[in-house]
Amino acid sequence: MWFLLIGILGFAHGLEHVNILNSWNGGFEADFMVRGPTNGWTAHLVFDHPVDKIEIWRATVTSRTNGGREFVLTALPDYANVAAGDTLTVHFVARQNGDQVPYTMIYTEGSGPNTDATSSPGLTLAPSTGNNNGTNPVAPSHSTPTGPESPMKKDYKKALELSILFYDAQRSGRLPANNPIPWRGDSAVNDGADGHDLSGGWYDAGDHVKFGLPMGWTAWVLLYGMLEFRDGYEGAGQTQMACDMIRTPLEYFLKVWIPSQQTLYVQVGDGYADHGYWGRPENMNMGRPAYKVTTSCHGSDVAGDTAASMAAGYMVFKDMCGDPGFADKLLGAAKSLYDFAKNNRGKYTDCITQAKDFYGSTGEADEMAVAGAWLYRATNEQHYLDEAKGFYPAGTAWSFNWNDANAGAALLLYGITKDGRYKTDIEGLVNSFRPGGSVPTTPCGLAWRDQWGPNRHAGNVAFVATMAAKYGIQKDAYLKWAESQMNYLLGDNKLHISYEIGFGNYYPTHPHHRGSSCPTNTNWCDANSGAPNPNLLKGGLVGGPDQGDNYQDSRSDYVKNEVACDYNAGFQSCLAGLVSFAVNNDLPASPASRC
């Protein structure tokens, strides 16, 4: 039944009503409003039939009782105080079995529920008409706020749009009919091994190898941003583009995991041979060997990242992207791959030495913690959470990247549990990158972690800070720092150059990228040509400047001009987060540029 019901409560402590926004088979989304003044609030959501799980923004679920019929909600610190005359909207998504939206009501502690509207002047239950007759369940069409937006110093919406196009330029295999990159065509369509089709996925960087570890990490970081900052994508008008973008690696992951053989293919292409070829992927004719992890060649790091991506992909395609059939395939594969990873622990490069010089792994417990956390979020099965907590390697991370997923695990586990130990590790990383921390800051304000991809490290940790802000951790301070990093990358530096290609009027034109640097009408191109790349690699984030803010736009300087899938991951999800805060009129003013 698709008849929507609204439970309305009177005015104790400013809580007004629950507004059912949308529903689908398996859940619904809603919000309620808090009116000031209030100096902290705790509320009870009560349903007339069980709800499995609540995902909530601006508050936390402190208990689930009565078989899932009642949830206690407590405001996160940054949203506890509402001034007189102000309102606070709290959004949540409920997961349940079936498509019948329950009678829903909310009351504050001390007021108490009463389902008899005639006996309580503050409480009524009233129907709200739905627009679905129940024969065609639909995914939710989440509504972006239409009120005033916070000003953005840079056009984060445009930067987000461009970053999606970078991933489209990295596609391998047969391209879809709506391919938006005019200079790309089908390539490596015969990738495969042992009778398995391994075509598709993303090329790693400016080369044409498909490395499973950074691809898996990149995919779940992008999906994390899509899930938590959905209104950022919608506010930028990029929801469908993002769904098309992220489908590419997810379809590939379904190909490379062969559960009946307990085999996961984790690399296609030989890195050394590939790096000896400078040409378009469409013109490749070299051998493309494939490498796999099995029960005798362990790789729980890459298997964990891949399982995490498919579990996160299940959540995104079930709701945001509106393809529940594809979502179910992803969840089934995620579960079996997670079990494989759990039963075959080990670093993949201890076995697959061909990857060691490119993406050598130093640990796998962090990826297993991430995988367990994502499987818990997707299924609400307690054993996944218990295992994720056990896998989690506590401590302050060096950064957040393809080889160090600790901060991502901490964010996921803090979002689920609100346990202070995860908050401590999140703050330890972000504070180390902020001015005064252990990571140097360039004169113009970039957190400069390493000469290899400093822009990547700054963008990834800025995403951690933005997600932490959403979870109520040092909200204004962390958002302002994240804005400072995005603004630097988009032009607030001494060269006034945007390090994202295509953004603004001045950006790199010589990225170290084969396809971009080769004309489409020839089989030959010159890697050492001083001319700009003939094909604009829109959205690519180049490696970045040295510690003194100096940068040379030279294709031969691959340290400063490399692009890669993992370089854009946190950068894009941070942009989505900043747009999300802006469209909700909740983004603090950007700090002033230091140059």
Please say if the pLDDT value at position 369 is more than 50: yes
Instruction: Give me the pLDDT at residue 95, please.
Output: 86
Instruction: Give me the pLDDT at residue 472, please.
Output: 95
Measured in degrees and rounded to the nearest 5, phi and psi for residue 146 equal: -110, 5
Mean pLDDT of 66-80: 84
333 and 240 in contact (C-beta within 8 Å)?
Answer: no
Mean pLDDT of 239-263: 98
CATH hierarchy code of domain 4-113: 2.60.40.290
More confident residue, 526 or 217: 217
- Rounded to whole angstroms, the Cα distance separating 206 from 279 reads 10
Instruction: Give me the pLDDT at residue 144, please.
Output: 53
For 530: left if phi > 0, alpha if psi spans -120 to 50, otherwise beta; the answer is: alpha
Please say if the pLDDT value at position 287 is more than 60: yes
Q: Is the pTM of this model over 0.85?
A: no
Among the listed residues 55, 161, 168, 207, the single catalytic one is 207
- Rounded to whole angstroms, the Cα distance separating 527 from 415 reads 46
Please say if the pLDDT value at position 431 is more than 80: yes
Please say if the pLDDT value at position 432 is more than 80: yes
The residue type of 340 is F
Please say if the pLDDT value at position 585 is more than 60: yes
- Residue 91 pLDDT grade (very low, low, confident, very high; cuts 50, 70, 90): confident
Please say if the pLDDT value at position 135 is more than 50: no
CATH hierarchy code of domain 156-583: 1.50.10.10
Among the listed residues 29, 512, 513, 549, the single catalytic one is 512
Mean pLDDT of 333-340: 98
Measured in degrees and rounded to the nearest 5, phi and psi for residue 570 equal: -65, -35
Report DSSP letters for 544-557, one per residue. ---TTS-----TT-
Told to judge if 99 belongs to the known catalytic residues of this protein, a careful annotator would answer: no
* Chain segment 99-127, per-residue pLDDT in tens: 788 878 787 664 334 333 222 222 222 22
Instruction: Give me the pLDDT at residue 586, please.
Output: 95
**Ranges 108-112, 298-302, 546-550: which has the least confidence:** 108-112
Among the listed residues 161, 562, 566, 586, the single catalytic one is 562
Instruction: Give me the pLDDT at residue 17, please.
Output: 66
Mean pLDDT of 474-482: 97
- Rounded to whole angstroms, the Cα distance separating 103 from 116 reads 12
Tokens of residue 47, six digits: 């349903």
Mean pLDDT of 28-51: 83
Mean pLDDT of 492-517: 97
Indicate the domain borders of the chain: 4-113, 156-583
Instruction: Give me the pLDDT at residue 425, please.
Output: 98
Among the listed residues 48, 244, 546, 553, the single catalytic one is 553
Told to judge if 196 belongs to the known catalytic residues of this protein, a careful annotator would answer: no
Q: Specify the DSSP element, H or E, that contains 268.
A: strand 263-268
- Residue 8 pLDDT grade (very low, low, confident, very high; cuts 50, 70, 90): very low
Same topology for domains 4-113 and 156-583, yes or no? no
Told to judge if 149 belongs to the known catalytic residues of this protein, a careful annotator would answer: no
- Residue 344 pLDDT grade (very low, low, confident, very high; cuts 50, 70, 90): very high
- Residue 134 pLDDT grade (very low, low, confident, very high; cuts 50, 70, 90): very low
Instruction: Give me the pLDDT at residue 206, please.
Output: 94
Told to judge if 510 belongs to the known catalytic residues of this protein, a careful annotator would answer: no
- Rounded to whole angstroms, the Cα distance separating 511 from 570 reads 20
Range list of β-strands (E), 96-207: 104-108, 123-128, 192-193, 196-197
